Amino acid sequence: MELDLQLYSVRTDLAVEAKEMAQGPQKTPIPGVNEEVEEEGGIKVTRLGVANNAGSQAIGRAIGNYVTLEVPALRGGDTGLQQKVSTVFAREFEQFLNRIGINKDSSVLIVGLGNWNVTPDSLGPLVVENALVTRQFYELVPDQVSPGYRNVSAIAPGVLGLTGIESSEVVQGIVDRTKPDVIIAIDALASRSLERINTTIQIADIGIHPGSGIGNKRRGLTQEILGIPCIAIGVPTVCYASTIVNNVLEMMKNHFAQVGDGAAHTKEIMGMLDDISEQERLALVKEVLEPLGHDLIVTPKEIDEFIEEIANIVASGLNAALHEAVDPGNVGAYTH
Amino acid sequence: MELDLQLYSVRTDLAVEAKEMAQGPQKTPIPGVNEEVEEEGGIKVTRLGVANNAGSQAIGRAIGNYVTLEVPALRGGDTGLQQKVSTVFAREFEQFLNRIGINKDSSVLIVGLGNWNVTPDSLGPLVVENALVTRQFYELVPDQVSPGYRNVSAIAPGVLGLTGIESSEVVQGIVDRTKPDVIIAIDALASRSLERINTTIQIADIGIHPGSGIGNKRRGLTQEILGIPCIAIGVPTVCYASTIVNNVLEMMKNHFAQVGDGAAHTKEIMGMLDDISEQERLALVKEVLEPLGHDLIVTPKEIDEFIEEIANIVASGLNAALHEAVDPGNVGAYTH
Amino acid sequence: MELDLQLYSVRTDLAVEAKEMAQGPQKTPIPGVNEEVEEEGGIKVTRLGVANNAGSQAIGRAIGNYVTLEVPALRGGDTGLQQKVSTVFAREFEQFLNRIGINKDSSVLIVGLGNWNVTPDSLGPLVVENALVTRQFYELVPDQVSPGYRNVSAIAPGVLGLTGIESSEVVQGIVDRTKPDVIIAIDALASRSLERINTTIQIADIGIHPGSGIGNKRRGLTQEILGIPCIAIGVPTVCYASTIVNNVLEMMKNHFAQVGDGAAHTKEIMGMLDDISEQERLALVKEVLEPLGHDLIVTPKEIDEFIEEIANIVASGLNAALHEAVDPGNVGAYTH
Amino acid sequence: MELDLQLYSVRTDLAVEAKEMAQGPQKTPIPGVNEEVEEEGGIKVTRLGVANNAGSQAIGRAIGNYVTLEVPALRGGDTGLQQKVSTVFAREFEQFLNRIGINKDSSVLIVGLGNWNVTPDSLGPLVVENALVTRQFYELVPDQVSPGYRNVSAIAPGVLGLTGIESSEVVQGIVDRTKPDVIIAIDALASRSLERINTTIQIADIGIHPGSGIGNKRRGLTQEILGIPCIAIGVPTVCYASTIVNNVLEMMKNHFAQVGDGAAHTKEIMGMLDDISEQERLALVKEVLEPLGHDLIVTPKEIDEFIEEIANIVASGLNAALHEAVDPGNVGAYTH
């Protein structure tokens, strides 16, 4: 039985999941990867730094900074919690900008990647719709812009299948003409575990890399390509069927190891599925699913509501973080 | 380890899946259940008759007639195939009406169950939007109705959470006042296997039973309740995460039994997961998933497009089957 | 030149406009019609009582109570003003209920008339979407309903062209089964003057009469038909092209009478158009427009945004007025 | 009474209307403006050539070619007629391309101007959604592109208020990077007469000029700016209230001149309104409307349906005209 065991076969766009998988159940620390975890009121904030090539290779992520907000209760529809997440996101995003040296006066282009016709891929366009844009005032009446508002523009470049143009080309064309100082790109992601869908927000200073996100974004949005920093904000909204299965097998393994007589018990129940590595197991699952064309990408039934809520959280948080004059407690007024 | 082994724990609204599970891998015939299978051009038509209580209990379905169209290639977006499915559906539906004694002059109320704000639950309302309704002409200008058009009305009663009223109560109120001869109720369903999502259409003369369909339709639409026959048309648009996992384990079992040395090999790979029954296995999966709140209901990422396509197929087919004057080759003109 | 001079030829669903026209420019008081006007912060509240047949015939409206909120600045998109209007609407609506003897414990069925596919006719369905419904809790867990919440259900019955069923029949069927104490029907209206479109809300205790509202609501929703009181809430969202023209001619007349030498001046500019009555003038305009099929019904270009805003105002106000536990300052949380 | 009599005060984006107004009721030929009219099956095709500066100044339009399709019955919802218009549009557009020297191999960028959130301004984005784009295949698998398909890309650049970026800047950025040979820009327009709304399609080789179209497109899309030819396709979807009134007064004038004793009669009825020029009359109307803020821009109540239909007609026609392999009789298959 020959299997493709490459790390990326477990499809996740989340650095925290890549790290977890690299660590394994023993949670061994990984050289070159620093981690700082904080938790308040149901919101877990993980600040991950990939410091060098060793760390990068170990978890299969680019060198850079990753901040992740995990809020398991977020799918419950609690508007109070949503507002709190928005406020924490705004605070973390502001600190993130400071940490990587983005100035208070830097002009920003917000890029909403994804396809507005595909609900789980519409996060980017939805955030763009709710972003507070001001560049037109800076261009037309620069002396009348109130203090506390940064120069912000926003675009949803569409997807290759609808436009015939790579979104990175559209963005580059706009960057060439409008000269923003920094790009903030929003994209829907795939995660490894169902529980992280629509409950997790990732901020990263590594831009968008080819092949990440839901659609077929074939070329990336990175500082190398664009010549300016690109901060990526992502929310997982889908899972591969194969990773769900694999993830559940992993959970079963851990579950049975805890009840009964532990290891022996698990081995008895799960056979070889207990022994092999996560990658091998996933390869097995795929071997079964793919010939039948079953390796669907799935999203929760309630995606319409979830995506609206999380897009509002991200847009409100962004508006508060980017414009000093926008009060974090009052950001809702600027979104639809 | 105590498990809830009741049959219905494997959540499916499809009679063909209930039958498959009752039969097991040996495909043992079931007394009281007749089956007739036809296949043409990629469309598999299964006509299932549950003739008596024995059959009913064996597969956990009400006594009645079930016709299922399975079209694995339907998710490919081929408009030619879609039109063919629509035509076959129209033909099968007409024969179905004849078989159960629905007259050519019977007036029909089409009921689109489900929530138009939840994409995978919006099948019913979408079909209603595209149904060719004529009752207003029968009421207002009865002598001017062209021949070949049946008296058809259509309503999407909404869901309990949005209206505060059970959809069955809304329907009953309308039935009391408008006196249709028969009800055709459209609803989105849950299936056991991912591959049947958005590729399968089920017609049944048993009405809608409480607890079937996606949402919380707590009371049913049946002849007992409504006093007139109720034909149900359903399309699976969602799966439980647990049934996906379970279904894949089943597929793994069958897969490994075929490669290598068969049974021994499978046992080695899958341990006890190989031995236990489907129900036991599902119970195991749920035991793992539920405490974590992970037993999400999921739908394919492309659900927006799928649901539009299949709603058009069903509406076009219904329009052709109900109105003699509507040409099956030309039904598209009546839908949006 | 023979003209149809009937009063209703000037198409308006607003009692205040019907009264204005009956009064003429001299603003002569009308026997049998009482009026009370209040103004606060840009919101003009007119409470009109049609006390007897004389009043009814004079203004062409049924005997009953009419409260109108006029907010000329409402189309400006000021969210502060919107919230204020919502609060005033809630207060007026509550007083209105008290005045006509609707009890605090009365159960309510909200009916959203109109067609959700036609933006200027979608007010009713949009309000229903944002109404706080509670009847399901009263039915299922009556002892667990928190105090301060009234029994409210809500339905959007669709329009005849889409369902084949008069909306009044759908409503009557539901009333028969669910036995509400009172109906609140929301409908989009036509006004005579462009400036009242999307800036005016009318509350009336006369129900919905055949021929009012935008669509073809052929049968009404009145106490005579339904057996329970029916309160109508309406917002003008459209004008006939002919009434726009006529209204502007009226404005021109008044305008020129004020500048220059008054009457003589106006006569010189406008010829016979100055002399004839509003009805005659409208008949003239229609005589010109109708053969060409030009008497379109029009709506402002920004209708998508206007209708959302006003639906939110009405829904928020209703939620606060119907449920004591809903804080008028905080009603936004219950609408989308 | 001082009035602003400039020609453009009568707001129309249609060359045929500008010409009509310049000609006056006597239909005097205009030097420098050639006209060719054809009519078939309810579709009137006018080919207007503005040959020199004299012609340009007379009608207030840039030198260039204008083809207009007028189809008064188009708002009737007749799908057969829609398909015919689409076919005639495709034929005229192809001839237009040939006439101005656009090669069969030229690559095309379709630009859908306007705001998708404002229904009457959403024509451009809707056409883009239904355009058959192929550039991605030319880029990725150039040797596998079937013959008969031209290199087409498409973008909806959004509007200044939503993006902070002039749509012309977005387009220029994309043109710089993707180097199309020609631009086809789709935009919703304003017309002078209600009857032309949603019944008229204009093709012009003069690009988009600042201030044309519905929104605030402040900078244009012209060959001077972009360096490549820009063909504009426009459909009027709105009217100013003032132009409706003015247009009806004009119709009244013509109407009364035909009945009764002609001129004297008209003078009697309409006073000075009969004598003065269209521009003076419009100025009068505006003088009355503007202080009250009533000069609303309006659109027909049925705009949602109209805009979908006409966007489909334009997209189908474009697909057939641009790609030889797309059969004009079958273009519907490529649009949604």
At B266-319, the pLDDT tens digits run 777 777 777 777 777 777 777 777 766 667 899 999 999 999 999 999 999 999
Chain A contact present for B117, CB below 8 A: yes
Tokens of C305: 């945004």
Q: Which residues of C touch D303 (CB under 8 A)?
A: 119, 299, 303
pLDDT score of A312 more than 80: yes
Residue B260 pLDDT: 59
Q: Per residue in D295-312, pLDDT tens?
A: 789 999 999 999 999 999
Q: Is B30 exposed, middle or buried (0-12, 13-18, 19+ CB in 10 A)?
A: middle
Q: Cα–Cα distance between D249 and C271 in angstroms, integer? A: 13
Q: Which residues of A touch B194 (CB under 8 A)?
A: 241, 294, 296, 298
Q: Cα–Cα distance between B143 and B99 in angstroms, integer? A: 30
Q: Which residues of A touch D152 (CB under 8 A)?
A: 164
As a whole number, the mean pLDDT across chain B is 87
Q: Per residue in B90-124, pLDDT tens?
A: 999 999 999 888 988 899 999 999 999 999 999 99
Tokens of A120: 């789980």
Tokens of D32: 């420098």
Chain D contact present for C255, CB below 8 A: yes
C69-89 mean pLDDT: 93
pLDDT above 70: percentage of residues in chain B: 89
DSSP state of B145: P
Nearest to A133 among D153, D155, D162 (CB): D162
Residue D246 pLDDT: 82
pLDDT score of C26 more than 70: yes
Whether residues C299 and D294 touch (CB distance < 8 A) is answered with no
Residue D77 pLDDT: 85
Residue D7 pLDDT: 37
Residue B247 pLDDT: 80
- How far does the CA of residue D153 sit from the closest CA of chain A (Å)? 5
Q: Cα–Cα distance between B138 and A151 in angstroms, integer? A: 62
- How far does the CA of residue A317 sit from the closest CA of chain D (Å)? 18
As a whole number, the mean pLDDT across chain D is 87
CB-based contacts of A106: which residues, under 8 Å, 6+ apart?
A: A150, A180, A181, A182
Decide: B192 and B12 in contact? Cβ < 8 Å: yes
- How far does the CA of residue C137 sit from the closest CA of chain D (Å)? 37
A202-213 mean pLDDT: 86
D196-219 mean pLDDT: 83
B223-235 mean pLDDT: 95
Q: Cα–Cα distance between A168 and A226 in angstroms, integer? A: 9
SS3 at position A146? coil
A58-67, A288-297, B30-39, C105-114: which has the minimum mean pLDDT?
A288-297
Chain B contact present for C216, CB below 8 A: no
C134 phi and psi angles, rounded to 5 deg: -135, -10
C228-257 mean pLDDT: 86
Q: Which residues of C touch D292 (CB under 8 A)?
A: 195, 251
pLDDT score of B216 more than 50: yes
Residue D139 pLDDT: 92
SS3 at position C13? coil
pLDDT above 90: percentage of residues in chain D: 63
* Residue appearing with tokens 């609690």: A78
Q: What is the DSSP string of B148-173?
A: T---EEEE----HHHHSS-HHHHHHH
Tokens of D325: 């392999």
pLDDT above 70: percentage of residues in chain A: 89
Chain C contact present for D145, CB below 8 A: no
Residue B164 pLDDT: 96
A192-196, C212-216, D118-122: which is most confident: D118-122
- How far does the CA of residue D68 sit from the closest CA of chain A (Å)? 28
A neighbour chains, 3+ CB pairs within 8 Å: B, D
Decide: A233 and A212 in contact? Cβ < 8 Å: no
A73-77, A318-322, C271-275: which is most confident: A318-322
Long-range CB contact pairs, A218-227, < 8 A, 24+: A218/A160, A218/A166, A219/A166, A219/A168, A219/A169, A220/A168, A221/A111, A221/A113, A221/A167, A221/A168, A221/A171, A221/A183, A221/A185, A225/A168, A225/A172, A226/A171, A226/A172, A226/A175, A226/A183, A227/A175
pLDDT above 70: percentage of residues in chain D: 90
What Å distances lie between residue B132 and B129, B174, B316, B321, CA to CA?
9, 18, 9, 11
A110-119, A184-193, A287-296, B13-22: which has the minimum mean pLDDT?
A287-296
What end-to-end distance do the CA atoms of chain A give, in Å? 54
A38-60 mean pLDDT: 94
Q: Name which of C90, C25, C10 is nearest C330 in CA terms.
A: C90
Residue C4 pLDDT: 37
Q: Is the dihedral of CA B193, B199, B205, B210 positive or negative?
A: positive
Q: Per residue in D166-193, pLDDT tens?
A: 999 999 999 999 999 999 999 999 998 8
